[in-house]
Structure 1
Amino acid sequence: MTDTNATGGATTALSAHWFEPHELPERPVVVTGVFDVLHVGHVRFLQSIAERGLPLTVGIESDERVRAWKGPGRPVNPAEERAETIAALGCVAASFVIQGLSELADWAAYADLLRPLAPAALAFTEGDRFTQAKIRGADALGAQAWELPFTPGRSTTAALGRLAHSL
């Protein structure tokens, strides 16, 4: 992992820790999320973004941030491994881990983090509880907001529930 300051030198609330090797694509589509236990919903979502022809960069939330939001049992996989797994997908150009206080989850903090990437678009799934914040963030970055279909019944929480039920 390589640490980079999101604003090229200024102190920021959130920071990006890039998975290596990486080469920053120009005007990427950016997605942020946990991507804990990779499943078909993740793959379909990421592939549908890549099919639009722009490079895809994925921000992975740090273990500390995920634990604060989802509880002590999450994430299942460490952030570095989640970033490596996502980066290995053919449709992903680059991945990074998002570090910072869990309270920093508003659109302005993400816009500050992503501004150096000059994203062409921010992508998210239908029904995302942060849809309005992501639209505001895209607007602040001069990027498009892409809302893509959600694969019903396919989430990490659902997968973990099925696994626990089958044991």
Structure 2
Amino acid sequence: MTRTDPPRGSAPALTLNWFSPPSPTAGPVIVTGVFDVLHVGHVRYLSAIRERGFPLVVGVEADERVRAWKGPGRPVNPAEERAEVLAALACVDGVFTISGSPDVTDWEHYAELLRPLRPAALAYTSGDPYAEAKQRGAAALGAQAWELPLTEGRSTSATLGQLTRSL
């Protein structure tokens, strides 16, 4: 795993640590998220992005960030394992983890983090609570913002809820 260095004189709010770097190409599509318990909704979403012909790079949020947002029982799987599973998917060209304070969720910091990757697009699903921020980040990066449909009824939270009810 390699780590990007912060600009001189300032420490970045978020850091990017490569789990599986993509081949050197310009213009990947970047998607970020938790990807805790991989399910068909994730696979359909990532496959639909890759089918558009661009390299796909996935950012996985670090455990401490997920825990702050989703509660003490999450994530179920540690970031390194979530990244490893995503890197094994044929549609994924590269995977990195995102570390930093859980309070840092604004588009400016994500744009600063992703700028060196020169993304062609940032992708997100319909109903993403951060959709507007991702659109603003894409605009700041000179990238497209791609909204893809959500696979209804398929989410990590729904899967974990079903498991809990069946125990």
TM category (shorter chain) comes to over 0.9
Give, in angstroms, the shift of residue 96 of structure 1.
0.3
Calculate percent identity across the aligned residue pairs. Answer: 65
Q: Which runs of 4+ in 1 moved over 3 A?
A: 6-10, 20-25
Alignment partner, residue 128 of structure 2? 128
CA distance in 2, matches of 1:8, 1:77: 34
Alignment partner, residue 35 of structure 1? 35
User: TM-score scaled to structure 1, two decimals?
Assistant: 0.95
8 Å contact from structure 2 (residues 21, 96) kept in 1: no
Segments of 5+ residues of structure 1 without an aligned counterpart are: none
Alignment partner, residue 53 of structure 1? 53
Give me the CA root mean square deviation.
1.5
CA distance in 1, matches of 2:48, 2:81: 23
Alignment partner, residue 112 of structure 2? 112
Alignment partner, residue 83 of structure 2? 83
Alignment partner, residue 149 of structure 2? 149
- 2:93 equivalent to 1:93: yes
CA gap 1:19/1:139 in 2 versus in 1, 3 angstroms = same
- 2:141 equivalent to 1:162: no
1:51-79 Cα distance to aligned partner (Å, 9 max, x none): 00000000000000000000100000000
1:25-55 Cα distance to aligned partner (Å, 9 max, x none): 3210000000000000000000000000000
Amino acid in the other structure paired with 1:71 = G
1:98-156 Cα distance to aligned partner (Å, 9 max, x none): 00000100000100000000000000000111111110000000000000000011000
Task: Report the secondary structure of 2:145's partner residue.
Answer: strand
User: TM-score scaled to structure 2, two decimals?
Assistant: 0.95
CA distance in 2, matches of 1:118, 1:9: 23
CA distance in 2, matches of 1:22, 1:120: 14
